[in-house]
Chain A
Amino acid sequence: MSATPSALLIKFPGTNCDAETARALEAAGFTTSVVPVSLITPSHLKTVNLVVFSGGFSYGDYVMAGRIAQLVSEVKLGDSLKRFIADGGYVLGICNGFQIMTKLGILPEGSLIDNSSGRFQCRWVKLKVTNPESPWLADLPEEFELPIAHAEGRFVAPEGKAQEYLDKGLAALTYESDINGSTLQIAAMQDETGRVFGLMPHPERFIHPQNHYDPDWSERPDHGWGYYFFRGIWREITGGRRLVA
């Protein structure tokens, strides 16, 4: 492969998973730049393959998680993000990034609201791939684990839509048990193209086997499942689609 795909991570005040997400992207083969939102212009999107909204608490999430970041992104980027997607670009949102993306309207209609427990929770969860065709999940087994850490991760959609998302493969990943009240236990969503993907679990926190809570975890000898998540999309992008020189 001649060129290395490049990722742009947009950092808002309160974004706090940027360093480890950039590290994970680099480990999977991306060149990655983390750019504070104050410096972002539409031209940043012209030179990258993947735009990433990482985890954190953008602007404190005091209004609704991701709402202020959505407004600022729209001011900064105008319609360039939607054009980027239409032109074949990839967009990933993790946790707060997923929340921001649901507000930006670049994922099928739905919202991430307070967990049914009413509490923040940090724990590992079992996940089930419901759409093995998803380019983001290509390198992952049908079932795998990742950590979650969120207070607003309960996915809700308009009446009847959640089942439709599941049937169409848009709800590509579900929790194996009800951990936050998400409709049909939906943990991740992708758009119709499959290039835009948001998930609540944190793949960037499971790059090394030692990140797992069980010292004897050995389903893969070299890397944790998070690595295979990023590696999957690296393969997708480098496997023939648009590559920015």
Chain B
Amino acid sequence: MAAAAPERPTYRTIPILALSTSELEALSKSMKLSLSGADMEAVRAYYQEQGREPTDVELEVIAQTWSEHCKHRIFSARIQHTRDGKTEEIDGIFKTFIRKVSLGIMDSKPGFVLSAFTDNAGFIEIDPGLAACLKVETHNHPSAIEPYAGANTGLGGVIRDILGAGKGAKPVASLDVFCFGRPDTKPEQIRAKDVIHPLGVMRGVVRGVRDYGNRMGIPTVGGAIQFDDTFCYNPLVFCGTAGIIPSSEIAKEVIPGHLIIAVGGRTGRDGLKGATFSSGALGTDSHEEDQTAVQIGNPIEEKKVSDFVLSAREQGLIAAITDCGAGGFSSAAGEMLSETGGEIILDQAPLKEPGLLSWEIFISESQERMVLSSAPEKLPALRKLADVYETELAVLGKSDGTGILKVKHHGHMVCELDCRRLHEAPRLDLKATWTTPDWQPLPTLNEATAEADLREILGDFAIVSREPVIREYDHEVQGNTVLKPLAGATGDAPQDGAVIRVDGSSRLLALGLSLLPEWGKTDPYAMGLACMDECVRQLVLCGANPDKIAVLDNYCMGNPHDPAELGGLVESARALAEAAVAYGTPFVSGKDSFYNYFQTEDGPVSIPVTALISGIGIVEDAKHVTGASLRSDDSVLCLLGTATGDLGGSVYARRKGLTAQRVPVGDPVAAAALYRSTHEAIKGGLVLSAHDISEGGLAVTLAEMAFSLKAGIEATLPDGPPAMVQLFSEAPARFVLEVRPADVETLQEIFADHAFTVLGHTTSAHRRLKIAGTQRPVIDADIAGLKEIWKSGLAAWY
């Protein structure tokens, strides 16, 4: 035994060769490996081949690597999908609907996407030599159990993704999207013990994001909050960060002989088994038992790491880098050594406390750590830089070209795995079904209540201003924010997306996003089309070139082993693929989160299938950024697009209790053409402001545009569907443009092939929103009064 050996061994051998499948399953359960019987059989087969028993370290590594969180096994599964009685086989959702589709789009746009699906985040070109990336992660399970810390480390984690993208991208903006239960949920509605009330979840999550993002000095420029009872037990927390990097620094390579180096925070027992924990469902016990899976963030530690990484990259000291996220060193070093193989010495990892077991060190997800690979001769310069930025650096091992991952601790080989085999998780076979609901006919709607309905909707949790939350985020740090989350002449009106300047370029970056879980409840296919549409539309209305947009998909759903739930996922993925082709917007990255269901006293509660589509677009000139608020009291308002007669999924339908209403199904091909024309109009300087029609419908769009208090509005609805449908339909591919009277004719030409309607005009005569139906006036309301309803709605709860 080596002199430094501890009193007790820090690893053990786990006999599995002689175990039956049910005993293997029991073992997986007792060790909390989250591996299925089939997985465990595959593990047993590997060790039969090796002629030995595994160590606990090896089983933990395999469990982390094969977890849903790391391996996306549902997205890779073979699925028998039955749609309204017709069955087809889907050879993996990711492969079929995301990867293949995106590669096809990329082929048609050479030079735009610089990297996709291979790195922490995909990259697009801003200018020759300069690239941008975006990554969005979910942190749902941790945020359910410990909202502040869960969201805190969620943002911290995605920022590290960007620091580990390429040879280290600079984080420049963040997005945060949440789905919570309703703030006014009555305590007795919560049918399980220890579940945190939505208000507590919301306050904790927002503060968690605030305290990490603000301290890191990354502006939180965009986001969304959805409130629905279905998110009461399983809140969703999406954290996204965009980064910038010189294009020449995107490619990275681990070279045999290079050192594997850890930098940043120390390793401790916090954050054990996060990846496997998040790959299962939550239950009441989770609130007691899984606390060690959630960690506390230390943003200043990460800020030091960030300063170190960006300087090291600029000085050419990094050959490859990745973040320590789920799975800790096992996943970071495992990923880095996946081709070359190499050796890691756990004794060299700086620890928070003595006495950690081998597996604990190797899979701990302690925050604020990065792993990089560099030539040995760069080590002195790296050490010096770590001193300058007051962060800790340790050489963990080196790559060696053997293809075998070897982990040593106290002189013992505690893990020895074939890297290639490590990534061969058995493929799942799943069943999915989708049955189109029986839609109910739309009842006759009462126009007389239009104005009261608008007031109600403006005060609905779906619509009310997010100002109390937004003000807690620093959205101005870095000094590059051009289009802010709240803007317009009064600085507090809602916008369609965010735009930031890019250091070293005259071009700007636009960020947009969409999620419509309400649509997912009844028509996930329509939801998929609409999410992509809304995201692209936002970016175009913010000034982005529609041909320079890339998107990310973040799926969340309940139980993927329930065929009806999985069917919804398949339908929405199919729609997203169709939409991506039509808009020419490739997916460059994505992440999914399953098992968002909860065992309550009344049975399991699942979230609706939810897709967050976030997009990054290039704005070629700052002049193309107009904002979504009225700028003139002598302008014309034009409506683009037509409302269908469908009100399903709308805030109006929800409030009126209209169920089984058909959800609007968009036409992405027509919409893509419309957005190209729109970009022409914006480029020609013909647009004063532009606002999309989304949640709440046209009435809310006009009211929100008027919240700049620059002008009153006089509008008349065109012939077509009933006034109430036109006012409150949330059909996609529609928006309102504010233009100069002299430009209307030119715009009519530009939009000759599209539904273009002059809706009315702005006026200095009053500050009222006046909307007339074809027969009679339907809304005549004081704008300041409407704004007050909208502005104060969330403040009371936050």
Contact = CB atoms under 8 A, between A and B. Distances in A.
Answer yes or no: are A and B bound together in one complex.
Answer: yes
Nearest to A122: B474
A211 B481 contact: yes
Given A205-B476, A215-B631, A216-B631, A59 B482 contact: no
Contacts of A59: 300
Contacts of A120: 210, 214, 471-472, 474
B475 A13 contact: no
Contacts of A204: 479
Contact of B476 (A11, A24, A149): A149
B389 A36 contact: yes
A26 B388 CA distance: 24
Nearest to B217: A16
B543 to A, nearest CB: 11
B491 A213 contact: yes
A206 B478 CA distance: 11
A211 B473 CA distance: 17
B389 A211 contact: no
Contacts of B298: 60
Contacts of A208: 501
B389 A38 contact: yes
Interface in B630-653: 631
Interface in A52-100: 55-57, 59-60
Q: Secondary structure of the A side of the interface?
A: mixed
A19 B480 CA distance: 11
B474 A213 contact: no
A11 B477 CA distance: 16
B749 interface: no
Contacts of B410: none
A119 interface: yes
Contacts of B470: 122
Contacts of B210: 120
Interface string B361-390: 000000000000000000000000001111
Contacts of A14: 215, 300, 303
A41 interface: no
Interface stretch (B161-169, B261-269, B600-608, B621-629): B621-629
B309 to A, nearest CB: 14
Contacts of A122: 470-476
- Please tell me the size bucket of the interface on B: 35 or more
Contacts of B471: 119-123
B299 interface: yes
A56 B217 contact: yes
A147 B689 CA distance: 23
Contact of B487 (A39, A149, A202, A213): A213
A207 B484 CA distance: 16
A55 B626 CA distance: 29
A210 interface: yes
A31 B472 CA distance: 34
A121 B468 CA distance: 9
B622 A210 contact: yes
A23 interface: yes
B304 interface: yes
A20 interface: yes
Residue among A16, A20, A124 with max Cβ neighbours from chain B (10 Å): A16
Given A149-B476, A205-B479, A213-B486, A38 B387 contact: yes
Given A13-B390, A36-B388, A208-B501, A214 B476 contact: no
Interface string A204-227: 111110110111100000000000
Contacts of B689: 215
A17 interface: yes
A20 B481 CA distance: 12
B488 interface: yes
Given A119-B472, A122-B471, A123-B491, A207 B479 contact: yes
Contacts of A38: 387-390
B173 interface: no
Interface string B725-756: 00000000000000000000000000000000
Nearest to B508: A210
Nearest to A62: B300
Nearest to B622: A210
B26 interface: no
A120 B487 CA distance: 19
Contacts of A55: 477
Contacts of B478: 17, 19-20
Nearest to A61: B215
Interface of A: 11, 13-14, 16-17, 19-20, 23-24, 36, 38-39, 55-57, 59-60, 119-124, 147, 149, 202, 204-208, 210-211, 213-216
12 contacts: A13-B304, A19-B478, A60-B300, A120-B210, A120-B474, A123-B491, A149-B477, A210-B482, A210-B622, A211-B482, A215-B625, A215-B689
Which 6 A-B pairs have CB atoms at the shortest separation, nearest pair first? A16-B217, A20-B479, A213-B491, A60-B300, A149-B474, A213-B487
Given A38-B389, A211-B482, 16 more contacts: A13-B307, A14-B215, A20-B480, A36-B388, A57-B300, A120-B210, A120-B471, A122-B476, A205-B481, A208-B501, A210-B482, A210-B622, A211-B481, A215-B627, A215-B689, A216-B489
